[in-house]
Amino acid sequence: SYVLTQPPSVSVAPGQTARITCGGNNIGSKSVHWYQQKPGQAPVLVVYDDSDRPSGIPERFSGSNSGNTATLTISRVEAGDEADYYCQVWDSSSVHPVVFGGGTKLTVL
Amino acid sequence: QVQLQESGPGLVNPSQTLSLTCTVSGGSISSGSYYWSWIRQPAGKGLEWIGRIYTSGSSNYNPSLKSRLTISLDTSKNQFSLKLTSVTAADTAVYYCARDRNYYDGQRGIGVHYFDYWGQGTLVTVSS
């Protein structure tokens, strides 16, 4: 089955840029989505289809996808961005088509 | 604004059946090209997709749970439900229901599936 690999943790100072990666075999050929999950809360979609933002998500959140790596970029990081972030794809060739990455804990220093 | 709300017992005995219902408000469960999914998350761990059902009633399940799993739809109540049989402690988790937005991107030749609305989640503990 398809595997998505995320770094367990990323740390960044307030006001700086955070980049969270999601690795997968030829992931650039798939549509990648990103979710933010704060402690005790349900996940929230922050980027869909590689780089689109749902209504209400700040422009500071952006995404890119090419080759074997997709990236969620958070500009001008704020304390409120501290959360777990998960990438997700649909793998049509798999009997387990919905694949989540293991998640990345973003710490704002 | 679509809203989803999970309901069901918070404690289930081992070997028994876990049953949860998701009530959808702010839109009809039978309109639009949406699937309706269940996702779970053990404490301190990542997200695991359980399965989904389409408005037509067709369903897809996680292969690791398929033999124990049934997802059904009740359009009259705008609800969909999960039944997981023969539960063990490994089934202890927060269970989420979510709307599965999906379409085919003809330009790239790929399917696009993501979860745009989620319930708040409900903790189910399997223990005697």
Sequence-distant (≥ 6) Cβ neighbours of residue A104 within 8 angstroms:
A6, A7, A8, A9, A10, A20, A84, A85, A86
- Residue A20 in this model has a pLDDT that exceeds 90: yes
Structure tokens at A64: 């890119």
Number of H helices, E strands in chain A: 0, 9
Cβ-count burial of A90 within 10 angstroms (0-12 exposed, 13-18 middle, 19+ buried)? buried
Comparison of pLDDT for B112 and A94, the residue scoring more: B112
- Residue B50 in this model has a pLDDT that exceeds 80: yes
Q: Which of B111, B116, B104 is nearest to A52 (CA)?
A: B116
Sequence-distant (≥ 6) Cβ neighbours of residue B58 within 8 angstroms:
none
Question: Would the CA dihedral through A93, B72, B97, B117 be positive or negative?
Answer: positive
- Top residue of B4, B36, B47 to mutate, by most chain A CBs within 10 Å, is B47
Helix (H, G, I), strand (E, B) or coil at A27: helix
Q: Give dist(CA B22, CA B73) in Å, integer.
A: 10
Q: What is the pLDDT of residues B64-90, one digit of tens each?
A: 999 999 999 999 999 999 999 999 999
Nearest-CA distance from B64 to chain A in Å? 9
Hey, is the C-beta of B43 within 8 angstroms of any chain A C-beta?
no
Helix (H, G, I), strand (E, B) or coil at A39: coil
Which chain A residue shows the shortest CA-CA distance from B114? A33
B98 close to B23: Cβ distance less than 8 angstroms: no
- Please, where are the H alpha helices in chain B? none
Q: What is the pLDDT of residues A44-87, one digit of tens each?
A: 999 999 999 999 999 999 999 999 999 999 999 999 999 999 99
Nearest-CA distance from B58 to chain A in Å? 15
- Residue A7 in this model has a pLDDT that exceeds 90: yes
Which chain A residue shows the shortest CA-CA distance from B99? A45
- Residue contact B114–A29, C-beta within 8 A: no
Which chain B residue shows the shortest CA-CA distance from A98? B49
Of B112, B116, B118, the CB nearest to A42: B118
Sequence-distant (≥ 6) Cβ neighbours of residue A40 within 8 angstroms:
none
Q: What is the pLDDT of residues B18-48, one digit of tens each?
A: 999 999 999 999 887 799 999 999 999 999 9
